[in-house]
Structure 1
């Protein structure tokens, strides 16, 4: 199963395609020690899966 949720500390600026621009930049800011509020990133794969499933969360993804 593909991973859909990432903590900021798991990402980097090189993961822009997977995390989106904002997600990758927040991850990079966290990794270099800038103050970033706690949070997480939904991957672009999560967005694509949601859209492919008629904008519904698949029962195997909840």
Structure 2
């Protein structure tokens, strides 16, 4: 699974272990937490993340 950030073109890519929906859900939660933590490290308040944080768009592609 990968990600490309629009404003600075930072790329994040990691492999999802073959598994089930629980495995995929755990990876999405990790990605969300990484984005949230980076946003907080920039000096923003954690409680403002939901309202003022970046928008996250996930595109699912089954091109195997």
TM range (shorter): 0.3 to 0.5
Determine which structure has the larger helix proportion and give its number: 1
- Which structure's CA Rg is the greater one? 2
Q: What's the TM-score once normalised by structure 2's chain length? A: 0.32
Q: What's the TM-score once normalised by structure 1's chain length? A: 0.33
